[in-house]
Amino acid sequence: MDDAVTPNPTTIDLLRHGQVVTPHLFCAPSHEPLGNEGWKQLTRATQHGQWDVVVTSPSRRCHDFARMLAKRLGCPFWVDVRFGEMDFGDWVGKTSTELWEESPDLMQQLWQQPRRFIAPHGEAMETFIARVHEAWAELTTQYAGQRVLLLTHAGVIRVVLAKALDILYQKSLAFEVGYAQITRIRVYPDGVSSVVGHGLVQG
């Protein structure tokens, strides 16, 4: 009997963007660019990587570098708005210090009861999680068996981690997701996910 051919797993590296121009923002606006240090951080994190496709959030702090990297690698480049950071509404562009002073109860809810959280004029956490799950399911199907780099945000990475580890989203808040750090996940043909590494830094 011929040996059965086992399909390759899909390897997805979730890379958080680097440091932005304006320091200490709780959530930067989508048009906020990377600072010089942010470009250096992402360059170090990707200098030895080999990917078949680069997927990115539309935010400038992700998109600008992802487009350049895909061009360097000569691989397809795809923007998916569903991998954008959660819309924090009126909180966008403010610092954590400002928010703790202005809205301590809401800030506390974000960390203690995140699934119930909605920022003023922002996106509900449940809506955010649902769109990331939808995008993730399509990504793993569309690029099955390939090596994918997804340049995105800390919140998105935590949603994916919680799903891959089958834990509550609140538990994912215990994971530190630093600038330009990589979380590697393998998704097997039967749908099982394995977190291969978290907080990986090169260079």
pLDDT, tens digit, 9 for 90 and up, residues 43-94: 999 999 999 999 999 999 999 999 999 999 999 999 999 999 999 999 999 9
Name the pairing type of β-strands 10-16 and 182-187: antiparallel
Q: What is the pLDDT of residue 201?
A: 57
**H helix runs in the chain, sequence order:** 36-46, 60-73, 96-102, 104-112, 125-142, 154-165, 169-172
pLDDT at 169 over 60: yes
Q: What is the pLDDT of residue 203?
A: 43
Identity at 99, one-letter amino acid code: L
pTM: 0.91
Which residue shows structure tokens 């609140």? 170
Q: Which residue has the higher pLDDT, 176 or 80?
A: 80
Which residue shows structure tokens 């990115």? 56
Question: What region does 163 belong to: left with phi over 0, alpha with psi -120 to 50, or beta?
Answer: alpha
Name all domains of the chain by residue range, CATH numbers in brackets: 10-87+124-200 (3.40.50.1240)
> Residue 8 — pLDDT band, cuts 50, 70, 90?
confident
Show the tokens assigned to 97: 């210090």
Q: What is the pLDDT of residue 189?
A: 87
> Residue 6 — pLDDT band, cuts 50, 70, 90?
low
Q: Evaluate whether 56 touches 77 at the Cβ level (below 8 Å).
A: yes
